[in-house]
Amino acid sequence: MQIKAVVYQSATGHTKRYAEMFAAKTGLPLYTLQEAKKALSKGDEIIYFGWILSGKIQGFEPAWTDYEVKAVASVGLYPDSARFRNHIGRNNIIIDMEYFHLRGGIKTGELKGGAKILMKIMMKTIEKKLEKGQQVTPEELEMHDAYKNSADFVSEEQLAGIYAWYDSYCADAQ
């Protein structure tokens, strides 16, 4: 079997940019999860890029239900670390595939719907803690700062690991 496409889900564009860069470099077709329904068949091999909301990689579950996900890349605000991987491992079932994490960013003005509401609730909670002098986690502080000022950590260099994996995967498949 051969990887057929890059499939992604993005709310404010950071994940889309990574998926576009990856597809441009590898020559693989690129689809949103929605577009993939028409373009791909069940069981096709894919690489999936999804943004993270409260630890959950968005669209990942429907992606692995319908396709053979060979690698998944999460895109979130926080940097990769053992603590971060623990947070992802508790919220997503990542079995028999490669996992990569890429830093995205926050486009405060572009949040919509449930994500916007959830973010507002998160900000209120953090601000209350700060007002009362209560302890906040480094992640809460990072999110608070990114929300206030917007943040963009997208860079092609972060794709180095997934490019290397893809090259060796293609070589092995031949």
Ligand X SMILES: Cc1cc2nc3c(=O)[nH]c(=O)nc-3n(C[C@H](O)[C@H](O)[C@H](O)COP(=O)(O)O)c2cc1C
How many other C-beta atoms can be found within 10 angstroms of the C-beta atom of residue 154?
A: 18
- The reply to whether 94 sits near ligand X by the rule CB under 6 A is no
Q: How far apart are CA 145 and CA 165, in angstroms?
A: 33
DSSP letter for 79, please.
P
- The reply to whether 106 sits near ligand X by the rule CB under 6 A is yes
- The reply to whether 173 sits near ligand X by the rule CB under 6 A is no
Using CB under 6 A as the binding rule, the residues of this chain from 120 to 139 that contact ligand X are none
Closer Cβ to ligand X, 7 or 77, answer by number: 77
Among 4, 14, 70, 144, interactor with ligand X by CB under 6 A: 14
Among 47, 52, 73, 159, interactor with ligand X by CB under 6 A: 52
Query: Three-state DSSP class for 106?
Result: strand
Q: Give the burial string for 120-152 (b: 16+ CB within 10 Å, else e).
A: eeebeebeebeeeeeeeeeebebbbebbeeebe
- The reply to whether 28 sits near ligand X by the rule CB under 6 A is no
Cα–chain center distance at 33: 13
- The reply to whether 75 sits near ligand X by the rule CB under 6 A is yes
Among 2, 54, 81, 86, interactor with ligand X by CB under 6 A: 54
Residue numbers of the site for ligand X (CB under 6 A)?
10-16, 51-55, 75-78, 104-106, 111, 115, 118-119
